[in-house]
Structure 1
Amino acid sequence: MLYSGPPTAPVPVPPRIAALAGGRPLVPVWENESGGLTFRIGEGEETLFAKWAAAGSGPDLAAEAERLVWAVPFTPVPRVLEHGSDADGSWLVTVGLPGENAVSPRWRADPGGAVRALGEGLRALHDQLPAAECPFSWSVPDRVERARREGVDVPDGLLQTPPVDRFVVCHGDACAPNTLLADDGSWSAHVDLGSLGLADRWADLAVASANTVGNYGPGWEDALLEAYGVTPDRQRLAYYRSLWRAT
Structure 2
Amino acid sequence: MSRPVTAGIPIGPVDVPEVVEALAGADTITPVWRNELGGLTFRLEGAVVRYVKWVAAGTPEIDLRGEAERLTWARRWVTVPRVLELGADDAGAWLVTAEVAGRSAVEPRWVAEPVTAAAAIGAGLRRLHDRLPVDRCPFEWSVETRLARADERIAEGQGPADRSSEYRHLNAVQARARIGDPPRIDRLVVCHGDACVPNTLVHDDGGFAAHVDLGSLGVGDRWADLAVAAWSTEWNYGPGYDGILYDAYGVAPDPERIDYYRLLWDMA
When the two structures are superposed, what TM-score results if normalisation uses the length of structure 2?
0.88
**Is residue 10–residue 31 contact of structure 2 (8 Å, CA) maintained in 1?**
yes
For the pair 1:166 / 2:174, whether they are aligned, the reply is no
CA offset digits 1:199-243 (Å, max 9, x no partner): 000000000011111111111111111110001111000110111
Q: CA deviation at 1:139?
A: 0.6
Identify which of 132, 140, 145 aligns with 1:142: 145
**Is residue 103–residue 177 contact of structure 1 (8 Å, CA) maintained in 2?**
yes
Identify which of 117, 120, 143 aligns with 1:114: 117
Distance 1:89 1:147, change over 3 A: farther
Gaps (5+ residues) in structure 1?
Answer: none
Identify which of 36, 40, 53 aligns with 1:37: 40
The aligned residue for residue 7 of structure 2 is 4
- Supply the distance in 1 between the matched residues of 2:32 and 2:150 (Cα, whole angstroms): 28
Q: CA deviation at 1:168?
A: 0.2
Q: CA deviation at 1:171?
A: 0.3
Give runs of aligned pairs for residues 115-130 of structure 1, distance below 5 A.
115-130=118-133
**Is residue 102–residue 176 contact of structure 1 (8 Å, CA) maintained in 2?**
yes
Identify which of 203, 209, 223 aligns with 1:188: 209
The aligned residue for residue 100 of structure 2 is 97
The aligned residue for residue 51 of structure 1 is 53
The two structures, once aligned, show a CA RMSD in angstroms of 1.4
Q: CA deviation at 1:77?
A: 0.3
Gaps (5+ residues) in structure 2?
Answer: 159-171
For the pair 1:227 / 2:248, whether they are aligned, the reply is yes
Q: Which has the higher contact order (CA 8 A, sep 6+)?
A: 2
The aligned residue for residue 225 of structure 2 is 204
What is the one-letter code of the residue matched to 1:213? E
For the pair 1:16 / 2:37, whether they are aligned, the reply is no
Q: CA deviation at 1:141?
A: 0.8
What is the one-letter code of the residue matched to 2:93? S
Identify which of 81, 86, 100 aligns with 1:83: 86
Q: What SS does the aligned partner of 1:239 have?
A: helix
**Is residue 141–residue 159 contact of structure 1 (8 Å, CA) maintained in 2?**
no
Q: CA deviation at 1:63?
A: 1.1
Q: CA deviation at 1:2?
A: 5.9
Q: CA deviation at 1:35?
A: 0.2
**Is residue 126–residue 168 contact of structure 1 (8 Å, CA) maintained in 2?**
yes
What is the one-letter code of the residue matched to 1:56? G
CA offset digits 1:162-221 (Å, max 9, x no partner): 000100000001011000000111011000000000000000000001111111111111
What is the one-letter code of the residue matched to 1:85? A
- Supply the distance in 2 between the matched residues of 1:42 and 1:233 (Cα, whole angstroms): 43
Q: CA deviation at 1:156?
A: 3.9
What is the one-letter code of the residue matched to 1:19? A
- Supply the distance in 2 between the matched residues of 1:244 and 1:13 (Cα, whole angstroms): 31
- Supply the distance in 2 between the matched residues of 1:25 and 1:175 (Cα, whole angstroms): 28
What is the one-letter code of the residue matched to 2:111? R
CA offset digits 1:15-35 (Å, max 9, x no partner): 111111112111111001100
Larger CA deviation: 20-29 vs 190-199: 20-29
Q: CA deviation at 1:3?
A: 1.7
- Supply the distance in 2 between the matched residues of 1:130 and 1:113 (Cα, whole angstroms): 28
- Supply the distance in 1 between the matched residues of 2:243 and 2:132 (Cα, whole angstroms): 24
Q: What SS does the aligned partner of 1:155 have?
A: helix
Report sequence identity in percent: 53
When the two structures are superposed, what TM-score results if normalisation uses the length of structure 1?
0.96
Equivalenced residue count is: 246
What is the one-letter code of the residue matched to 1:194? G
